[in-house]
Amino acid sequence: MAIVVSHDDVKASRRSRIHEDGNFVALTHFIVACPERGLDAQAMLVEEGPHRNLRTHYHDQDEFQVFVAGGGTNGKHPIQPFQLHYARKHTPYGPILASEAGCVFLTLRSRSDNGAKFLPESRALLDGVQDRHPWQVGADIVFPEAGTGVAMQAVPGVRDEHGLDASAVRLAPGASLRAPSPADSDGQYLVVLRGGMMHQGLERKAITIVFLQPADEAFELVAGSEGLDALILNLPRQASVPVAAPSEKHADFKVWQCLLCAFVYDEAAGLEEEGIAPGTRWEDVPESFTCSDCGAGKADFVMLEF
């Protein structure tokens, strides 16, 4: 059965503390695992205080993160609302460095994780993981214009062959949408980020989270009086994932991949945001280069063979 939890339901459970680095962090749990109900999902709102540095780390479960307020950087990528980040289990990401305004995000998993494993101290543990297929992807979320009806569009790039999927939907006031079935996933989240949704006769304001197990029926999303903007997020089925080889490359140029998180440096393409011109050979990339997604150094990159 669908689990529906609004921020209003759980905000009293918010717990804040001053982290050992002197910065503020707060957690509000929306969904916690409940084995008696066959529920292993985990959904929480994380508030990182100004300038908090959440160091590069990985988890043992796949996860979505939805950046909902504040700003900063995730790895070398600027954070702004609303953005989606997906990381497969055992894929290092970060550091997440909060701006002056702090950084607020949702973490959504279909299986509970027992805590962040930080690098470099968990490097040996990471190296010992068998059958590891690191991969992550980030995307800005654009909600489509819906006029007086319903509009839905895929979030680009957030897709794999095991059912990973993400869509942005906008519903006008009173409009409704039957969400895609969660059957082809390991669990589906519907995340209302603006406006509100109707549920059991009540309007549930953003942020409201709906979680569906694969066996649940497709959810009927009904907008409240202000309409709504929501994400529909399918976590991928648990399966061994073949490492996807990047498509055709120029024969003369090599492709280098971060061993830790699978970030790819393509000599043909360079890395414009780092000022590395197209055609720059790996040996000419500065020794100070670090991975855009996880901060690993050049020594942690290997050449991909095709």
CB of 290 to Fe ion, least distance (A): 8
Q: Can residue 47 be called a binding residue for Fe ion (CB under 5 A)?
A: no
Instruction: Give the number of other Cβ atoms within 10 Å of residue 93's Cβ.
Output: 28
At 80, which amino acid appears?
Q
CA distance 168 to 76: 24
User: What secondary structure does DSSP assign to 24-46, as a single string?
Assistant: EEEEEEEE--BGGGTB--EEEEE
Q: Can residue 135 be called a binding residue for Fe ion (CB under 5 A)?
A: no
Are 96 and 57 spatial neighbours (Cβ–Cβ below 8 Å)?
no
Q: Can residue 104 be called a binding residue for Fe ion (CB under 5 A)?
A: no
CB of 136 to Fe ion, least distance (A): 9
User: What secondary structure does DSSP assign to 146-168, as a single string?
Assistant: -TTSEEEEEPTT---TTS-EEEE
Q: Can residue 291 be called a binding residue for Fe ion (CB under 5 A)?
A: yes
Q: Can residue 30 be called a binding residue for Fe ion (CB under 5 A)?
A: no
Only one of the segments 212-220, 224-232, 275-283, 289-297 lies at the binding site for Fe ion (rule: CB under 5 A); that segment is: 289-297
Instruction: Name the nearest CA neighbour of 165 among 146, 196, 149, 186.
Output: 186
Q: Can residue 296 be called a binding residue for Fe ion (CB under 5 A)?
A: yes
Which is nearer to Fe ion, 97 or 197 (by Cβ)? 97
Which is nearer to Fe ion, 18 or 125 (by Cβ)? 125
Please work out the total of residues on this chain that contact Fe ion, with binding judged by CB under 5 A: 8
CA distance 163 to 160: 6
Q: Per the structure block, which two tokens stand in for 222?
A: 């009904």
Are 60 and 89 spatial neighbours (Cβ–Cβ below 8 Å)?
yes
Among 3, 164, 232, 294, which residue interacts with Fe ion (rule: CB under 5 A)?
Answer: 294
Q: Per the structure block, which two tokens stand in for 96?
A: 């997440």
Among 48, 62, 186, 293, which residue interacts with Fe ion (rule: CB under 5 A)?
Answer: 293
Residue 206 Cα distances to 2, 35, 95, 223, angstroms = 17, 27, 28, 11
Which is nearer to Fe ion, 98 or 262 (by Cβ)? 262
Q: Which of residues 247-286 bind Fe ion (CB under 5 A)?
A: 258, 260-261, 263
Only one of the segments 121-129, 183-191, 211-219, 288-296 lies at the binding site for Fe ion (rule: CB under 5 A); that segment is: 288-296
In sequence order, what are the residues at sequence separation of 6 or more whose Cβ sits closer than 8 angstroms to the Cβ of residue 281? 254, 267
CB of 65 to Fe ion, least distance (A): 16
Instruction: Give the number of other Cβ atoms within 10 Å of residue 145's Cβ.
Output: 8
Q: Can residue 165 be called a binding residue for Fe ion (CB under 5 A)?
A: no
Which is nearer to Fe ion, 65 or 167 (by Cβ)? 65
String of contacts with Fe ion for each residue 207-246, x by CB under 5 A: ----------------------------------------
Residues at the contact surface with Fe ion, assessed by CB under 5 A: 258, 260-261, 263, 291, 293-294, 296
